[in-house]
Homo-oligomer: A and B are copies of this chain.
Amino acid sequence: MKKILLSTALLSATAGMAAAEVTFGGYGRFGLEYVEGRAEETQVAMRLRFNINAKTETDSGVTFGGRIRLQYTDGNNASTISPAYVYASYEGFRVEVGNSNTAYDSAALMYNSEMGYLDTSAGDPIGSYYGFASTSYGGETDRMGIFASYSVGDLNVRLSYVAEDQAEAGNNDAELSFSADYKFGAITVSGAYAKDGLAIDDNDLIFLGAEYAINDMGNVGLLYFKEEVGAVDRDKFTLYGNYTFDAITARAYVAFGEDFGTEETAFGLGADYDLGGARLSGSIQSDFDGDMFGDVGVRFDF
């Protein structure tokens, strides 16, 4: 007596209709995680995520919709249900309101050095900024985000504004961010800027990145992050690459920065094994304090 949601492909095959629809997408992952220096260094990690998506298309071709995320990650007492965003889109334009995505967090390439089934990297972005809140607003109940994006050909530009508390009189604390990326031939470039990231005064963030596709199987990329807030003024460079041969994708990165820990270099080596609908992934990484991180496990999307 179970119910099954059909796949997009089947729907398209059987109907040219369905103006309104609710869809579920998401992923699951589980495996081992080693974090040097924590109370129990080796633990089992797992997550199950559902994105619940609604949408309807008007006669004029405008699509309206929204999303709520339902998720469980180990270390929580129960599953969480995120705040929602609603959106309108028309051709290449899209506007989100509520728990919106942000321009800075959505910049292309930014997270491309991540590896392992947990998708982590010591070469990830630095500093504090808003993004889609996966679980809750953390007590910022009157947070309000607005996000706009435009895509034309291989160009994407995004602008977002997130007010920390839109209901408090005189509270103008807000994050403003912008990002753009462009692909020409084998090269992708991406840049992003956030003013008052996470609605913190004078917390400015810059990101620049470029990726080059060596051939169909390999990529190399270079990322640059800058954070300026109060007495903090620091930069990180991340150089990464990946190469696929048969079912295996090998990954590596090295990140440089003077002000992130006892070390000026962090690095990681990882590999994915394609299970044909899921992947077995592992990585060994060393962070800016020289602490080791390792993970091995499975991730599957649905």
Contact = CB atoms under 8 A, between A and B. Distances in A.
A6 interface: yes
B14 A10 contact: yes
Number of copies of this kind of chain in the complex = 3
B44 A20 contact: no
Given A29-B86, A30-B98, A48-B68, A23 B4 contact: yes
Given A22-B5, A23-B5, A277-B19, A54 B59 contact: no
A30 B97 contact: yes
Contacts of A40: 166-169, 171
A2 B28 contact: no
Interface residues of A, number: 92
Contacts of A43: 144, 166-167
Contacts of A30: 86, 97-98
A188 interface: no
B277 A39 contact: no
Nearest to A169: B39
Nearest to A9: B17
A48 B66 contact: yes
